């Protein structure tokens, strides 16, 4: 990311530059110290961080940049500044320069700008004026925005897209906001999908009801642009942290595939969503010997390599779990055991030696069984049969 700092105090500009480049990966900052200088610089920057007052400009340079459709964050030391509507609506955000915390705020804000394109926000709102207003604000922050005119449409969008955040009106024809929230909360928890209610209904009761139904936050119309930005950014930060922690919780750190915790807490629930499904249990042959011969660290490399090979050769929808030491489970939705066998043979073919040391695995596959535990047991019995029969083979009966 290329940032131009437009600031006449060179000391402050350099402090900003140091912080932005230190805390943001792949970021480069240049400095311009007057409007004259700014005009001479090309427009290839992703972001302009601008002081409001320069020796040769009292904000005209901000308007100049906004007119060119560029992204501007305003910095000012005076809290009681006056902005024209055009500037207020045109800038991404403003920061009051008081102490180091304002620089931290700026760094976090830019971090969000870099991550926001990967965040899908759905706006459910029947008034097209308000919907477009919200959309414009959020798109300026680089969020990926989806729209719906009512609750029904919103549910359709949910079906076909991975929505991360919902912003909803309450009063809408064709399924109102409260019903929408209740419907969404049947499958997504508060932390899994933040919901912000934006409503003009000036009633404490309805506000409380939407919180009870599972909204995370509430904004009253008409709202200030800053309020929407702040509340959405805060929720997205929380959501991001939750996702990071959760990912750690369900991931095996050595191999990067899911762990037992995931199996017992998530896969258990997914199991009944599919009529047709298979489970394969895979176990590396004579792994103990590899450890004993080449060392434990080499064994770890083999495990990571094996998991990677499985991942690269299975479909994206297949779920891979490290079941035990050198034993892996693959859950294959919408797959019969015969189809699962074809998939596993791809893994057999692709499995390369590690540092010239060849190794094999045995597997058992099942598509029978009424529960996850039952299907695992059947696949595990077949794995045992494969071992008994001499290893390096797959058993499906």
N-terminal to C-terminal alpha carbon distance within the chain: 56
Do 192 and 240 meet the contact criterion of CB atoms below 8 Å apart?
no
> Is 52 within 8 Å of 81 (Cβ atoms)?
yes
Please choose which of ligand GH3, Mg ion, none residue 299 contacts, taking the beta carbon within 5 to 8 angstroms, the exact cut-off set by kind: ligand GH3
**Which partner in ligand GH3, Mg ion, none is near 126 (CB below 5 to 8 A by kind)?**
Mg ion
Give the chain's length: 397
**285 touches ligand GH3 by CB under 6 A:** yes
Strands 361-366 and 277-284: antiparallel
Q: Which residues bind Mg ion (CB under 5 A)?
A: 126, 169, 171, 283-284, 287, 326-327
Give the residues across from 320 on adjacent strands: 330
Residue 291 binds ligand GH3 (CB under 6 A) = yes
CA–CA separation, 362 and 62 (whole Å)? 66
Encoded tokens for 157: 């969008």
Nearest CA to 364 out of 90, 388, 29 is that of 388
Q: How far is C-alpha 231 from the chain's CA centre?
A: 18
> What's the rounded Cα separation, in Å, for the pair 230 and 212?
22
Does residue 287 interact with ligand GH3 by CB under 6 A? Answer: yes
Q: For residue 242, with 0-12 CB atoms within 10 Å meaning exposed, 13-18 middle and 19 or more buried, which class applies?
A: middle
**Residue 65 vs 302, nearer CB to ligand GH3:** 302
| Choice between 71 and 326, CB closer to Mg ion | 326
* Contact letters for ligand GH3, residues 223-262 (x by CB under 6 A): -------------------------------x--------
Nearest to 116 by CA among 221, 6, 240, 201: 240
Binding range to ligand GH3, per CB under 6 A, among 165-173, 245-253, 297-305, 348-356:
297-305
- What, of Mg ion, ligand GH3, none, does residue 387 touch, CB below 5 to 8 Å by kind? ligand GH3
C-beta closer to Mg ion: residue 45 or 328:
328
Task: Name the minimum Å distance from CB 256 to ligand GH3.
Answer: 13
- Residue 296, contacted partner among Mg ion, ligand GH3, none, CB below 5-8 A by kind: ligand GH3
Other CB atoms closer than 10 Å to residue 67's CB: what's the count?
10
**Nearest distance from residue 376's CB to ligand GH3, in Å?**
17
How many alpha carbons lie under 13 Å from residue 172 in its C-beta half-sphere? 29
391 binds ligand GH3 (CB under 6 A): yes
Q: Shortest approach of ligand GH3 to residue 255 CB, angstroms?
A: 9
CB-CB contact of 175 with 132 (8 Å): no
Binding ligand GH3 by CB under 6 A: which of 299, 328, 378, 395?
299
Which helix (H) or strand (E) segment holds residue 45: the answer is none
For position 392 contacting ligand GH3 by CB under 6 A, the verdict is no
> CB under 5 to 8 A by kind: which of Mg ion, ligand GH3, none does 169 bind?
Mg ion
Quote the CA–CA distance of 136 and 140 in Å, as a whole number.
6
The distance from CA 5 to its chain's CA centroid, rounded to whole angstroms, is: 29
Numbers of helices and strands, H then E, in the chain:
16, 17
Query: Binding segment for ligand GH3 among 116-124, 266-274, 281-289, 335-343 (CB under 6 A)?
Result: 281-289
Q: Is 288 in the site for ligand GH3 (CB under 6 A)?
A: yes
Among 286, 333, 348, 369, binds ligand GH3 (CB under 6 A): 286
Q: Which residue has the tokens 């959309």?
A: 135
Residue range at the interface with ligand GH3 (CB under 6 A); choices 85-93, 145-153, 288-296, 366-374: 288-296
Among 300, 368, 374, 388, binds ligand GH3 (CB under 6 A): 300
CB of 37 to ligand GH3, least distance (A): 59
349, 137, 301: which is closest to 224 by C-alpha? 137
Nearer to Mg ion, 51 or 283 (CB): 283
Cα 309 to Cα 313: distance, rounded to the nearest angstrom: 6
Indicate which single residue of 104, 325, 353, 374 sits in contact with ligand GH3 (rule: CB under 6 A).
325
Q: State the residues that interact with ligand GH3 by CB under 6 A.
A: 254, 283-289, 291, 296, 299-300, 303, 325-326, 387, 391
């Amino acid at each position: 990311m290329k940032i131009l700092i437009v600031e006449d105090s060179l000391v402050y500009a350099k402090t900003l530059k140091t912080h932005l480049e230190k805390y943001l990966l792949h970021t480069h900052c240049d400095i311009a110290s007057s409007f004259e200088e700014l005009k001479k610089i090309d427009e290839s920057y992703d972001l302009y961080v601008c002081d409001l007052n320069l020796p040769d400009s009292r904000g005209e340079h901000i308007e100049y940049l906004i007119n060119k459709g560029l992204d501007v964050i305003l910095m000012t030391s005076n809290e009681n500044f006056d902005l024209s509507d055009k500037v207020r609506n045109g800038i991404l955000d403003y920061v009051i320069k008081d102490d180091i915390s304002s620089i931290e705020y700026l760094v976090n804000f830019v971090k969000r700008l870099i991550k926001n394109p990967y965040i899908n926000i759905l706006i459910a709102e029947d008034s097209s004026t308000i919907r477009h207003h919200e959309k414009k604000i959020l798109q300026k922050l680089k969020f990926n925005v989806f729209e719906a005119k009512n609750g029904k449409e919103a549910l359709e969008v949910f079906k076909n897209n991975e929505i991360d955040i919902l912003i909803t009106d309450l009063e809408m024809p064709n399924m109102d906001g409260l019903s929408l929230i209740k419907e969404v909360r049947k499958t997504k928890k508060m932390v899994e999908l933040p919901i912000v209610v934006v409503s003009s209904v000036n009633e404490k009761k309805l506000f409380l009801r939407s919180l009870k139904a599972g909204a995370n936050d509430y904004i009253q119309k008409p709202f200030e642009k800053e309020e929407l930005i702040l509340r959405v950014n805060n929720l997205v930060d929380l959501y991001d942290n939750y996702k990071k922690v959760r990912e750690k919780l369900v991931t095996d750190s050595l191999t990067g595939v899911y762990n037992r915790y995931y199996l017992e807490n998530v896969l258990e629930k997914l199991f009944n969503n599919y009529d047709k499904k298979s489970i394969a249990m895979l176990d590396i042959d004579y792994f103990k010997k590899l450890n004993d011969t080449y060392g434990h660290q080499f064994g770890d490399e083999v495990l990571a390599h094996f998991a990677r090979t499985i991942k690269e050769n299975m479909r994206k929808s297949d779920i891979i779990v490290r079941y035990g030491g050198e034993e892996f489970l693959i859950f294959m939705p919408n797959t019969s055991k015969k189809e699962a066998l074809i998939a596993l043979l791809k893994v057999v073919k692709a499995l390369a030696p590690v540092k010239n040391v060849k190794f094999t695995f045995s597997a058992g596959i099942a598509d029978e069984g009424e529960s996850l535990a039952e299907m695992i047991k059947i696949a595990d019995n077949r794995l045992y049969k494969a071992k008994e029969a001499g290893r390096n083979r797959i058993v499906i009966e």
